Amino acid sequence: MPSGNTGPEPKPGVLLYCEWMVGLTRREREVLVELCRPLLEQANFHEPASTRDIAKKLFVSEAAVKQHLLRMYDKLEVPDDGNRRLALANLAFERGILTSAEVAGEAAPATRAGDALAEGRAAFARRAWEVAYTRLADADAAGALVDAADLAALGEAALWTARPAESIAARQRAFALYVDADQRDAAARVAADLFINFIVRGKFACGGGWLAKARRLVDGRPDASALGYVAAMEALGLIAVGKLDDGAACATTAMQAGSEHHDQDSFTLGQTFMACVLVRRGQTDEAMKLFDEAMATATSGELGALATGVVYCRTLCTCLDQMDYRRAHEWTETIEQSRGGTGLPGDCRAHFASVLTATGDWQRAETEARTACEEAMRFDFGHVGLAAYELGVLSLRKGELASAEAAFKRAHELGALAQPGVSLLRLAHGDASAALASIESACASTPSDPLSRARLLPAKIEIALAAGDLAGARTAASELAAIAERIPTLAGAAAEGSGRVAAASGSHADAIADLRRSCRFWLDAGMPFEAARARRELANALAASGDGAGAALEAQVAREAFERLGLTER
């Protein structure tokens, strides 16, 4: 073979014809390219690459390379005499199977771009987000992403791999292409997705603008296939600002349109947001039935990635708000199983950490919360705040007050509700007056819906009693008990609060009854910290009533439960 010169490049048609004739596989072709690489790297082409060098380049074994070479010897009928590797390399150029440009990594850009696009599409279909993003981005760089659907896929893959800027750019390009093609439903869906892109980054005006564009594309078209999806996103926004009636109307539209167009995402999102409205209205039983059905749909793989994530998030949030940790734990286990061990995204991890904290797996809870902070920081600021708050709760329970203060501060900075953690931290520092002022301020600025109130009332009872405000504690306990009548999963907290107030009032028999009921509830719910805390209060009430033996037993059981959680002094 002439040194450094392979002659004129064969025409593309010749290249394709020869490949078809010899039937090289993709891996065989890669081996062949590496075999011929020395042609361009040496002044004189004396020897092709060794099997060892090829193996290193392709990250395969030498045995695998030898097998590929043997098959190519057969396909190209390379004689079994002399240097077969050199003969194979010569034949590759003589027959137009390879070109010098391709060996240099410059040839067949259309083929490489096509491969990247195909691989990106396949990875997107199986939700392998990092691979999907990388290969689709490669195809885009090569100019192969000319279809709006592929650009939309690139945008979604970028979203789930925490590349918000790239996601927005790809989706905006997809939107423009859909509009130019007068594909209004597809354009509306992309606009609604851009609404999500912006609101998870705290850019509500930008998100609102894109949601308005989505609405304009479906207005006046009651049969628009994107109507349900747009309505679902509108429901999300309306419920977030407390417009429950309008949110319910949009959720209903999403369900109706989703059913008519066999759009499971729209139907299930509408179902989920209707459940959110019902919870706010105190219709808990009806709400949880909708949440459970939506979760069954999501965990069975019937939904797209975004719809799946929203259903997970809203359901777990509601379970945690209601202290329904048994249901939350069941669904988190199901979520993990449905994801095949691939773990949870940052937003789901934040809620999962809360479940683990409640059920006593504190080491894993801290790991999940820290991972959530790292992952969600690149994606959803709101969930970083939730994860930071959970780290504060864990630190506070372990008596690590400086760490708790830093975590609660970060949660507050990111817009998450840092109460009642901040007030309880002040109490832990020994400043009951400051803690009481803090929790009263938080309660005064909290919406009147039962779940928002129930989040703060147990802490208010504890702090008010520590500050000597028995009347305030009694009022809070009565309010919590009334809420628990409507939301039974709050019964444990309500009974504990009533028991503490009764004990402080000297009503030992009532205190003992309430605290026993609280202990049973926490134990049944699988919440060891709360159960141990209630036992400790029960021990005090028993001691005050004169039952020293009963008090000693409850105190010992409580102490052992705290020790299992890693707490030696309570």
Would you give the end-to-end CA distance of the chain in angstroms? 85
Enumerate long-range contacts of 55-58, CB under 8 Å, 24 or more apart: 58/27, 58/30, 58/31, 58/34
Q: What is the pLDDT of residue 106?
A: 52
d(CA 85, CA 47): 8
The region of weakest confidence among 169-173, 342-346, 424-428 is 342-346
Element at 307 (helix H, strand E) = helix 305-321
Q: What is the pLDDT of residue 470?
A: 97
d(CA 72, CA 204): 59
d(CA 122, CA 212): 33
pLDDT in tens, 365-420: 888 788 777 665 555 566 777 888 889 999 999 999 999 999 999 888 877 789 99
pLDDT in tens, 452-498: 899 999 999 999 999 999 999 999 999 999 999 988 889 999 999 99
